[in-house]
Structure 1
């Protein structure tokens, strides 16, 4: 490719190099990174804000020993977020490398479009991983919508309390499964802590962080769909060369 660029001018060489980049794979990878980064960063901070709200306004404390309480579940979710961030960073690099090796630059470098059976199998395996991660992100998106729904209910209660005078509303953590049935952790509109929670920055910030987390999960789903389409198109285009040599 460098030898051919010597015969061209600077403008033509740059146009050829830019035109041979795998723009579709590059955009899908950037969208995947943005979605995962938004999900992991906002999700981590939203979980930390949830811990602050539970401790400051509901007076929920950590259970002694190794009891599986809401704080332990939050810590587990944080570790899952760390794993997702590391895993999808590696997966994004693999997708980008796959995009470069299946773009027009490689075809120009090696002449005719050739692909081995081994390369086709590796690409099919990558497509299988992309489809598996797509299903995973669908589940993550559905799971992330639950705290958004919960915080929206809390926000609605705060709005209704300020609009309707004399409204008697209570927020019970047992309804959300945050505490056991035997524990009674609730806030009613007549309490001072309820008004402090509604006026606090923690509630508003945590709610918007969960919304951004949901948006990041949705962006990752779109990136996975785009990746599956790209890989399947390449496999379909190279089907008649599956027994060609490199």
Structure 2
């Protein structure tokens, strides 16, 4: 079997669901972590500049923001590694499922690779089998880790539950900034509201961002409108929206991983192959 034919078989047996899920996972995590990190930095600057002049009022908030930023670093590293592992699991289990149904009789690390490596000139025939044996040993070791789709389903299910909480938390700052932006629209168009402009405020203390004894803690009227027109506010608002979209994309990718891995595991169990193949 030639190299091109082996690659063609690999593409035929590619786990497209896992490929789509991996792409969504990488895109979502990059968007969530990158935009979330910058949005938290922008929030810190807005609080320091407009809502409190006393460092002790927002000292705890800064510690929380820095903690979330470190959490973002760890989340990015973990999901990029786990996404690659799930993609490898998708290739491995999809190859086994296709082999059962007869659509993919040559596995990625099986006869096709051996034939490609050993089919060289006679002068290099002595080294061919040794290379094939080395590749097969690597694939055998990977198979011990990747041959358990039931474990991947369980781990991904737990991660999905955890990420649902992250997704819900990412909606909170979007809600706060949207309320502030809506208040600014009411100030900019006083004819659309019956309230006095001076009573329209954005109170950071109301959302738990600052303690109740923080001063001033809130900004009202034309001062709030001027804040909403700044590039810092607009950029931070849109960054939080992008982070929320990234969290949603990551959640969809995890659900896709669960569906694909569950299907492969169910087929293997129904065909009597168990969890090891």
TM bracket (short chain): 0.7 to 0.9
Task: Show the 5 A alignment for 1:3-42.
Answer: 4-5=1-2, 15-42=8-35
Question: Does the alignment pair 1:152 with 2:175?
Answer: no
Listed as ranges, the matches of 1:80-159 within 5 Å are 80-104=71-95, 107=99, 108-109=106-107, 110=110, 122-159=148-185
The Cα RMSD (Å) is 2.7
Structure 1 match to 2:234: 204
* TM-score using structure 2 length: 0.75
Cα deviation code 1:107-159 (max 9, x no counterpart): 42358xxxxxx778732111111001101111111111110000001101111
Once the two structures are TM-superposed, the CA of residue 15 in structure 1 deviates from its matched residue by: 4.0
Q: Tell me if the contact between 1:120 and 1:235 (Cα under 8 Å) persists in the aligned partners.
A: no
How far the C-alpha of 1:14 sits from its partner, in A, is 5.4
User: Aligned match of 2:254 in 224, 233, 240?
Assistant: 224
> Partners of 1:91 and 1:44 in 2: how far apart?
21
Any stretches of 5+ residues in structure 2 without a counterpart?
100-105, 112-143
Q: Shift of the alpha carbon at 1:104?
A: 3.0
Q: Name the residue aligned to 2:120.
A: none
SS, match of residue 233 in structure 2: helix
Preserved contact between residue 120 and residue 242 of structure 1 (Cα < 8 Å): no
Secondary structure of residue in 2 paired with 1:187: strand
- For the Cα contact (< 8 Å) 2:188–2:225, is it kept in 1? no
TM-superposition CA deviations, 1:2-25 (whole Å, max 9, x none):
xx237xxx5x66543321222221
Which has the higher Rg, Structure 1 or Structure 2?
2
Deviations 1:145-201 (A, max 9, x none): 1100000011011111010065221222110111112223111104xx423312101
- How many angstroms apart in 1 are the aligned matches of 2:183 and 2:63? 27
Does structure 1 retain, via aligned residues, the 8 Å contact 2:150–2:275? no
Q: 1:181 to 1:243 in 2, by over 3 A?
A: closer
2:60 to 57, 60, 69: 69
Cα–Cα, structure 1 residues 82 and 242, in superposed 2: closer, same or farther, change >3 Å? same
2:18/2:90 contact within 8 Å kept: yes
Shift of 1:54: 0.7
Deviation track 1:66-87 (CA, whole Å, cap 9, x = no partner) reads x961111111111111110011
Q: 1:56 to 1:40 in 2, by over 3 A?
A: same
1:181 corresponding residue in structure 2: 212
Change (3 A) 1:60 1:129: farther
Structure 1 residue runs of 5 or longer lacking an equivalent are: 112-117
2:122 equivalent in structure 1: none
Tell me the distance in 1 between the aligned counterparts of 2:44 and 2:149: 43
* 3-state SS of paired residue (2:26): helix
* Distance in structure 2 (CA, Å) of the matches to 1:175 and 1:230: 44
Deviation at 1:62, TM superposition (A): 3.3
